[in-house]
Structure 1
Amino acid sequence: MSRVSLERIAEAWDRDALPALESFVRIPAKSPAFDAEWAENGHLEAAVALGAEFCRRHLPDADTQVLRREGRTPLLWVEVPGSAPQAGTALIYAHLDKQPESTGWSEGLGPWEPQIRDGRLYGRGAVDDGYALFSVVTALAALREAGHAHPRCVLIAETGEESGSPDLPAYLDELAGAIGDPDLVVCPDAGCGTYDRLWCTNSLRGMITGILRADVLAEGVHSGDAGGVAPSSFRVLRRLLSRLEDEATGRILPQLCEVTIPRHCREQAAHAGEVLGALTRERYPLLEGVRPDSDDPAERILDRSWRAAVEVIGAEGLPPIEAAGNVLRPFTAVKLALRLPPTADAEAVAEALEALLTEDPPAGAHVRFEPDTVAAGWAAPEPAPWLARALADASEAHFGAAPVYMGEGGTIPLLVWLQRRFPRAEYLVTGVAGPGANAHGPDESLHLDATRRLTACLAETLQALAAERASGPGGR
């Protein structure tokens, strides 16, 4: 198999993809959850039109369409013919909607005005994940220009990912026949631990969010009068949360959602821990003297990717300190975010969680738990030998280092849907949202050198799929 030229990829990326991505940054294409008038404002349409024009210019024989359905956000569909009928099929995902502006951008930087500083492109949507479509198209165009084999590629770029992808399942159902049975699913919407190698996401946690509320009084009462007689709603919640979490260690009770971590994932976490070392701690702005929950880098990786964790992310019934009177308050409510292991049954855990928190309430308090998000996690299958070889070769060739497989702590429901629809497919989930990228926050930025190298790795992986499928039926 011929090597993909990083120099040609980098030249094409700087000449073609970078200016297009800068134009994309200028479009305030906020996701519908953050722009109720998205249809009237037309920014999502502008982003999709920009992506479609780029595809038509650099993949002129592709079937490029913008799909619009009543009440749904637009979707970009691009079908690129393979270099040969037996070259296989790759389904490639991206999204063109963005998080809102946020505050706190550094002087001279802003969400909608692209700026290049110190090898990074700053602007909202640059790394999450506006670059993806332009990188994939650049990779395919480079393969074709060099006469390298490549599979049939189906590119889908949605415009509702930051709102939870509410329209994507309907589009996937509609397009199922056109997509076919992909050999490889590529999702460049993930993170990376460093910028010196290829990072492959092998798992994502699930999540349950919901409101836990304890009521004890019909109205607030002077704390000097009721304190010691009426139960405290705050104390009731403390006891309920202790049913779920060991407050000394932060561990979630094992009978609720503990799973067996596969051996290959433990081995991959150990390798990632060796590569990252102290970065597994230093990536977090811990105050001086604050210790992480684990001293071992590999265990920290497993803690954030394969073990459950809960956080109180909001509260009601607690007045601000400056308005806090001496009152035994009638209720306390908190919003919980429980991260689940990738292979936990989210629906079963949600049912068990509600029972755990509400049955036999302390002091007879009126307790209820109302979940509002129940999302399953995702675990990638072990990569087929051809894919593992391709990723290793590409990372060594274009980064000069072996790839790393590591789980992420977040949740991407899209991958669960895709795995259910395409259970035989291989998966490459990757990205360049690494240190300093700050997706969703101020000063979001794209590391340009790593992006060029990742683009070359994507091209090599697509070429490897075509070679594997051409070699016989054992490519899966």
Structure 2
Amino acid sequence: MNARVPESTLNAAQVLSEVTRAWDDDIVHRLEDYIRIPAKSPAFDADWAQNGFIDTAMWDAATWVQSQKVEGLTLEIIRLEGRTPVLFFEVPASTGAANDAGGPAKAVSGQTVLMYGHLDKQPEFTGWRSDLGPWTPKYEDSKLYGRGGADDGYAVYASLAAIQALKSQNAAHPRIVGLIETCEESGSYDLLPYIDALRTRLGDVALVICLDSGAGNYEQLWLTSSLRGMASGVLKVEILTEGVHSGDASGLVPSSFRIMRQVLDRLEDSATGRMLPASFHCEVPADRLAQARATAAILGDELYKRFPWAHYDCGGSTQFALPTTTDPVQALLNRTWAPTLSVTGAEGFPDFKNAGNVLRPYTAFKLSLRLPPLVDAATAVQQLKTLLEDNAPYQARVTFEGEGSATGWNAPGTAPWFEQALSAASQTYFDAPCGYIGQGGTIPLMNMLSKGFPKAQMMVCGVLGPKSNAHGPNEFLHVPYAKKLTAAVAQVIAQIP
């Protein structure tokens, strides 16, 4: 690719008008139907194939895509034995119409734009507002509440709306393919076999558009510059074969929970949350540090204020729980380039009403370790196992069983045409410059695609802005932002040299 950026031939007002109409008249309603489907990812629904919810979400999306009657579009649902399905569509390149001066239509390269999304969901979780629920969509104050609408059911619909905006103006564009998976929330372990099977059909990918990421605010276009990796598994501490009377045994039989605390102290400084193994850390590249400083200057204390902090009344004033840091730059780096540990589940505990005076035989925690973008996740899993299992206190049986890993991603260098196209799209539709932000989550596909298509530019963006609360209660899709993002995607595609 050369560095020249062609001036956009799109009528921006028309693009936004058409996209807005598509969202208002159709897409919001399609997403309401999608939210009603409990299409939980295989990690959370072992019987996903028998239950059929993933197939329903996939079939609904495929039927809608076909109904759009995009010129030249072909589509198929592809199934590999024993794996979740993927939706694959293809739109041939178009040279567009002759220009207004009567000159020739734009020449189109043989390169490909790859549009990505997923249709599987996280589980329900608790704490939803009394009038909301994970599978009961509600459109309120321009926000569409419900599980999966923003993460990431909207992606396939927004992708087609962007393509339709190009087609309606007969704009030139490269070949476009779409890859919509249904295993992302489980770590995308089914995706690589599909990429291998489809490699020749993907073509020479010059631009990846991934609509499964976040936004620093709802006032500008945001490009994701990095993603953390993840390693997860179950840590179990067993000290007895069955529960025993706590009065009889405590003081002689060590608590499995106390042993668990000791073992986790090898991994994390509980006073600060800092991960102790040096191999889980990496140096932040200079360009990412500069971007973090610029982004921190834009977002300021909203980087931590956007979370639903616990609070309570204290002598007439409200006290709020505190973040690990109130420095905006450090806050941003902590959630994008620092390793962190979360306990996302527990077993071995009775509920309160059944919690008698019993010393429990075991404690098990599900661990989620977020890793800096440049740390290899598979290696980290092996290091975790050795660190946690060796030389167990009291010779207890301590086991760590890894459940999955995905190495993070650091975006390739930004080509001049791409940087200028992003800036132009953000100014056009948001009247603000494009922002660059690292994300603390993981999208396994991006590391795969960067290795498979090292020269491709990566437009990783999304609608998960402040308080959208993906994976948690009251998840919502900010529809006005989604409309502008859809329009921006169309404009960037139109400006590919």
TM-score, normalised to structure 2, is: 0.85
Give 1:269's aligned residue.
292
Q: Secondary structure at the match of 2:495?
A: helix
**1:214-270 Cα distance to aligned partner (Å, 9 max, x none):** 233344444444433333322222211111111111100142311111111111111
Q: How far does residue 391 in structure 1 lie from its aligned partner after superposition?
A: 1.0
1:393 to 2:424 alignment? yes
Whether the aligned pair in 2 keeps the contact of 1:315 and 1:333 (CA below 8 Å) is: yes
1:182 to 2:189 alignment? no
Gap regions ≥5 residues in structure 2: 1-6, 96-106, 311-318
1:205 to 2:228 alignment? yes
Q: Give 2:374's aligned amino acid.
A: T
The partner residue of 2:282 within 255, 259, 264 is 259
Q: Following the alignment from structure 2 to structure 1, what is the Cα–Cα distance between the partners of residues 125 and 253?
A: 43
Q: CA distance change for structure 1 residues 37 and 16 in 2, over 3 Å: closer, same or farther?
A: same
Q: CA distance change for structure 1 residues 418 and 327 in 2, over 3 Å: closer, same or farther?
A: same
Whether the aligned pair in 2 keeps the contact of 1:31 and 1:161 (CA below 8 Å) is: no
Q: CA distance change for structure 1 residues 353 and 98 in 2, over 3 Å: closer, same or farther?
A: closer
Give 1:423's aligned residue.
454
Runs of 4 or more off by more than 6 Å in structure 1?
Answer: none
Give 2:322's aligned residue.
291
1:2 to 2:8 alignment? yes
Give 1:457's aligned residue.
488
Q: Secondary structure at the match of 1:37?
A: helix
The partner residue of 1:120 within 143, 166, 191 is 143
1:141 to 2:164 alignment? yes
More helix by share: 1
Q: Give 1:137's aligned amino acid.
A: L
Q: Which moved more, 1:349-358 or 1:7-16?
A: 7-16
Q: CA distance change for structure 1 residues 5 and 130 in 2, over 3 Å: closer, same or farther?
A: farther
1:360 to 2:367 alignment? no
1:129 to 2:156 alignment? no
**1:299-341 Cα distance to aligned partner (Å, 9 max, x none):** 1111111111112222333333444444444333222221111
Aligned alpha-carbon RMSD (Å): 2.7
Q: Secondary structure at the match of 1:305?
A: coil
1:61 to 2:72 alignment? yes
User: Structure 2 matches for 1:432-443, cutoff 5 A?
Assistant: 432-443=463-474
Q: Secondary structure at the match of 1:19?
A: helix
Give 2:401's aligned residue.
370
User: Structure 2 matches for 1:43-122, cutoff 5 A?
Assistant: 43-55=56-68, 57=69, 59-82=70-93, 83=95, 84-86=107-109, 88-99=111-122, 115-122=138-145
Whether the aligned pair in 2 keeps the contact of 1:212 and 1:367 (CA below 8 Å) is: yes
Q: Give 2:462's aligned amino acid.
A: G
Q: How far does residue 13 in structure 1 lie from its aligned partner after superposition?
A: 1.9
Q: Secondary structure at the match of 2:176?
A: strand
Whether the aligned pair in 2 keeps the contact of 1:6 and 1:453 (CA below 8 Å) is: no
Q: Following the alignment from structure 1 to structure 2, what is the Cα–Cα distance between the partners of residues 332 and 442?
A: 27
Q: Give 2:457's aligned amino acid.
A: E
Q: Following the alignment from structure 1 to structure 2, what is the Cα–Cα distance between the partners of residues 355 and 267?
A: 36
Q: CA distance change for structure 1 residues 397 and 242 in 2, over 3 Å: closer, same or farther?
A: same
Q: Following the alignment from structure 1 to structure 2, what is the Cα–Cα distance between the partners of residues 41 and 259?
A: 37
Whether the aligned pair in 1 keeps the contact of 2:111 and 2:204 (CA below 8 Å) is: no
Q: CA distance change for structure 1 residues 100 and 212 in 2, over 3 Å: closer, same or farther?
A: closer
Q: Give 1:8's aligned amino acid.
A: Q
1:20 to 2:26 alignment? yes
Q: Give 1:49's aligned amino acid.
A: A
Q: Following the alignment from structure 2 to structure 1, what is the Cα–Cα distance between the partners of residues 195 and 441?
A: 23
Q: Which moved more, 1:303-312 or 1:140-149?
A: 140-149
Q: Following the alignment from structure 2 to structure 1, what is the Cα–Cα distance between the partners of residues 110 and 425?
A: 19
**1:249-300 Cα distance to aligned partner (Å, 9 max, x none):** 1100142311111111111111221111111111122223422111211111
Q: How far does residue 26 in structure 1 lie from its aligned partner after superposition?
A: 1.2
Q: Following the alignment from structure 2 to structure 1, what is the Cα–Cα distance between the partners of residues 219 and 398?
A: 50
Q: Following the alignment from structure 1 to structure 2, what is the Cα–Cα distance between the partners of residues 326 and 442?
A: 33
Whether the aligned pair in 1 keeps the contact of 2:280 and 2:371 (CA below 8 Å) is: yes
Q: Secondary structure at the match of 2:469?
A: coil
Give 2:184's aligned residue.
161
The partner residue of 1:316 within 315, 338, 347 is 347
Q: Following the alignment from structure 1 to structure 2, what is the Cα–Cα distance between the partners of residues 420 and 69?
A: 23
Q: Give 1:372's aligned amino acid.
A: E
Q: Give 1:196's aligned amino acid.
A: E
Q: Which moved more, 1:293-302 or 1:162-171?
A: 162-171
Q: Give 1:412's aligned amino acid.
A: I
Whether the aligned pair in 2 keeps the contact of 1:95 and 1:129 (CA below 8 Å) is: yes
Q: Which moved more, 1:94-103 or 1:7-16?
A: 94-103
Q: CA distance change for structure 1 residues 131 and 250 in 2, over 3 Å: closer, same or farther?
A: same
Q: Following the alignment from structure 1 to structure 2, what is the Cα–Cα distance between the partners of residues 163 and 311?
A: 17
Q: Which moved more, 1:327-336 or 1:285-294?
A: 327-336
Q: How far does residue 5 in structure 1 lie from its aligned partner after superposition?
A: 3.1
Q: Secondary structure at the match of 1:26?
A: helix
The partner residue of 2:305 within 282, 290, 309 is 282
Give 1:470's aligned residue.
none
Q: How far does residue 75 in structure 1 lie from its aligned partner after superposition?
A: 2.9
The count of residues paired between Structure 1 and Structure 2 equals 464
Q: How far does residue 166 in structure 1 lie from its aligned partner after superposition?
A: 4.2
